Amino acid sequence: MRAVVTGGAGFLGSHLCERLIGRGAEVVALDNLCTGSRRNVAHLQETGRFTLVESDVSRQIDVEGPVDLVLHFASPASPLDYLRMPIETLHVGSLGTDHALCLARDKGARLVLASTSEVYGDPQVHPQREDYWGHVNPVGPRGVYDEAKRFSEALTLAYRQTHGVDTGIVRIFNTFGPRMRPNDGRAIPNFIRQSLAGDPVTVAGDGLQTRSICYVEDLVTGILKMAESGHSGPINIGNPHEISMLDLANWIVKLAESESPVVHIERPVDDPTVRRPDTTLARSVLDWSPQVEIEDALLRTIGWFREHAGAPPLSAHD
């Protein structure tokens, strides 16, 4: 089994590479390190079955030899990152996805696209099933990410229908765990970093908006089940454990045994109010459901952040 993972040096990508290597696969990770880090995959080099190629998949994808599976995960994912790189985000969702699909077509490989719950926007249907079309503002700040992913889904389906490429689309809901950048701006790394430093924990608005949070280990299992299946999707992969950001902040402060106060900051424009996956499809067609208790997952993640707190801030080329 030889897999290509775009975005393989990122948070989710590095965990996918690790699991694939653990199963005996050969893995080629393509990453321009705009939000990922060499450090995330350094431990895989010694296996002799892992290669990290520093390249921008929006420009081209060139991989020698056979490929059985393409996991297309390259894209800035945190709002802070994609607002900093709006055009790059649209390019990787469009041009990058086109290049990944061409690779899969030319090699006769299966391709799994990392789509997102953001395709549902600020949803007016709750929980979200795959047949909900979403409520996205294309010209709001989040549009660069949401529309890039919606386009990438449409392009993936077009390659399936036009060229017979074996494709699968997963819509990933908020996932957390070790190797998130402490400063990537997302709620969980922010809350943990702030709690461990004793700094104020920043809750946006009144904090009553919800997310449903999934541990990375469960997510990776779901993605690889999708890769092994012949399903086209889209399939929601996420943990239906829904929680308000205020409750999450207080929970993390408690688990980190911190004295940090909770403070309220301005709520971002178009910030979705609720989000929870309907996972009926994942359960029935992939026989997948999350297994790790969220409290346990938060404790493991806090432990990882604590261990890595002394390290200098992650920079791309580490």
Q: Does 32 bind ligand NAD (CB under 6 A)?
A: yes
User: Binders of ligand UDP: how many residues, by CB under 6 A?
Assistant: 15
169: which strand partners?
113
Separation CA 186–CA 81 (nearest Å):
10
Footprint on residues 141-200 left by ligand UDP (CB under 6 A) = 174, 186-187, 190
Identify the active-site residue in 82, 120, 145, 215. 145
Separation CA 240–CA 243 (nearest Å):
9
Separation CA 298–CA 138 (nearest Å):
33
Q: Please name which of 114, 111, 120 lies closest in space to residue 152, comparing C-alpha atoms.
A: 114
The entry of ligand NAD, ligand UDP, none that residue 2 binds, CB within 5 to 8 Å by partner kind: none
Strands (E), the chain: 2-6, 26-31, 50-54, 69-72, 110-116, 166-172, 175-176, 201-204, 210-212, 214-215, 235-237, 242-244, 262-265
Under 8 Å between Cβ of 213 and 248:
yes
Q: Does 76 bind ligand NAD (CB under 6 A)?
A: yes
Active site residue 159: no
| Min dist. Cβ of residue 207 to ligand UDP (A) | 6
Give residue 198's identity as a one-letter amino acid code.
G
The entry of ligand UDP, ligand NAD, none that residue 210 binds, CB within 5 to 8 Å by partner kind: none
Q: Does 169 bind ligand NAD (CB under 6 A)?
A: no
Residues 6+ apart with CB under 8 A from 291: 218, 221
Task: Select the residue interacting with ligand NAD from 50, 73, 191, 215 (CB under 6 A).
Answer: 73
| Min dist. Cβ of residue 41 to ligand NAD (A) | 9
Neighbours of 280 (CB within 10 A): 12
The entry of ligand UDP, ligand NAD, none that residue 123 binds, CB within 5 to 8 Å by partner kind: none
Q: At what angle do helices 294-308 and 187-197 cross, to 10 degrees?
A: 60
Task: Select the residue interacting with ligand UDP from 83, 197, 204, 243 (CB under 6 A).
Answer: 204
Q: Does 69 bind ligand NAD (CB under 6 A)?
A: no
Q: Does 79 bind ligand UDP (CB under 6 A)?
A: yes
Under 8 Å between Cβ of 183 and 313:
yes
Binding characters for ligand UDP, 237-266, by CB under 6 A (x = yes): --------x---------------------
Binding region for ligand NAD (CB under 6 A): 6-7, 9-13, 30-36, 56-58, 73-77, 81, 92, 96, 114, 116, 172, 174-175
Q: Where do contacts with ligand UDP occur on this chain (CB under 6 A)?
A: 78-79, 174, 186-187, 190, 202-204, 209, 211, 245, 267-268, 271
